[in-house]
Amino acid sequence: MIDLRASSRWPIGRKAVVRLEAHDSHTIARDVYPPSFESKVDKCMQMTAGVVIGSRNSTFKVAFPGRKPLGQWILELREKGFSGAHGSRHLYNMNGGKVFEVDLLVMRELKAGEKVPEGSVNLQVPSLEEGVRNTLIVPKREQLILEEALDLLPWTSLSWSIHRGLRDVLMAYSKNTMDEHRKVLAQQLRQSVAIHGKESESRGWEPVFVSEYMAEMAATSVMSGGGNSGDLVRVVTGIAELIWDGSKDGLDETLFWRKERKELADGNAVLSSQAVIALVKCFVLEWSNEFDYQMYHELPQELVFE
C-alpha cells in the first residue's frame, strides 16, 4: 500500500508549501497483497463525520453524538436535528453534505429521579475522562436505530478513520453479539481460505501467503477484539468477500441485526454469508482509528501543492 507522507515549508508571511512523497512499507518484490483495492470517498467522509446513510431507496440518515463528561446519559433520537449539533456537522457540511436531511442521536443527561424507559439496555461507553466509562441508557426505539445503522454500515476493504462517538456507541451495542459469534466467525474465515484459495490468488493475493498464512492471520485478528493494522483488515475483508453470495452492492446493507440475529439459536450456529458480512463490519469498527472531526480548525487557509 502507498502511504503519502508530507514534508512542509511555511516561511513567515508567505504561503505554506506541502510536498507529498510516496512511502511504501511493502517492496514490490515482497508484497503479498493485491496491488489495489476499492475505496468509496463519500462513505469515508460520512464515517469521519459520524453519519450513517442508507441505500438510495432508504430514508435512513442518522448522525452520532460525541463523547460526554462523566455521568449517566440516555440516548435520544431527534428527527432532522443534525443542523443544531455541535462538532462534526461542520465537517459534513464542508464536504457537500446536507445537514438538514439528517436525524441526530443525542446523549441527554439523566435527570435525578427520572424513570428509565421500560425495555432499555445499558451500554458502557468511553467518557471525556481518560480511561473512565459512562453508562448510556438506550430505549427500545433507539435500539432499533442502532440495529439499522449496524446493518447499513458501508462495506470497506480498509479500516476507517472514524468519528469516535459513532465507533463508541456501535461497538458497545454490538459487543455481546460479536463476542458470542466471534469464535465461529474466525473458524468460518479460516475454512474459507482452504475452499476459495484459488479465487484469492486470482484476485491478486500471493499464492504462498494464501496457502500458509492467510487463514490463521484472519482468525487471530478476529479473536483479538481490536488492533490498528490496515493490512490485517484487508486480509479479513478479502476472505469475507469470498464467502458473500449476494451482489456487490448488497455488501452495504444486511438484515442481520434487524432480523437474522434473533433467529440464531446460539453462538455455535453456522453463520450465513449475510451474518459473516455484518460481523466483519463490526470487526472493522474494532480495528478503525479515531479521528478528530474538528481538525479543520487547525488547517491553514491556503495550501499550495507543488
Dihedral sign of CA atoms 270, 274, 278, 280 in order: positive
Residue range 241-251, pLDDT digits in tens: 999 998 888 89
Q: Where are the domains of the chain?
A: 41-139, 161-291
Summarised one tens digit per residue, pLDDT across range 136-171 is 999 999 999 999 999 999 999 999 999 999 999 999
Query: Tens digit of pLDDT for each residue in 19-41?
Result: 666 555 666 567 888 877 888 88
Using an 8 Å Cβ cutoff, are 159 and 288 in contact? Answer: yes
pLDDT bracket for residue 8 (50, 70, 90): low
Q: Is pLDDT at 215 greater than 90 in this prediction?
A: yes
Please report the pLDDT score of residue 178 as a whole number.
96
Pairing of strands 17-24, 304-305: parallel
301 CB contacts (<8 Å, ≥6 apart)? none
Mean predicted confidence (pLDDT) in 247-262 = 92
Percent with pLDDT over 70 in the chain: 89
What mean pLDDT comes out for the span 73-98?
91
Buried b (16+ CB within 10 A) or exposed e, 103-123: bbbbbeebeeeeeeeeebbeb
Q: In this predicted structure, what is the pLDDT of residue 218?
A: 97
Per the CB < 8 A criterion, the answer to whether 146 and 46 are in contact is no
* Stretch 99-123: mean pLDDT: 95
pLDDT band of 9, cuts 50, 70, 90: low
Please, what sign has the CA dihedral across residues 140, 69, 125, 281? positive
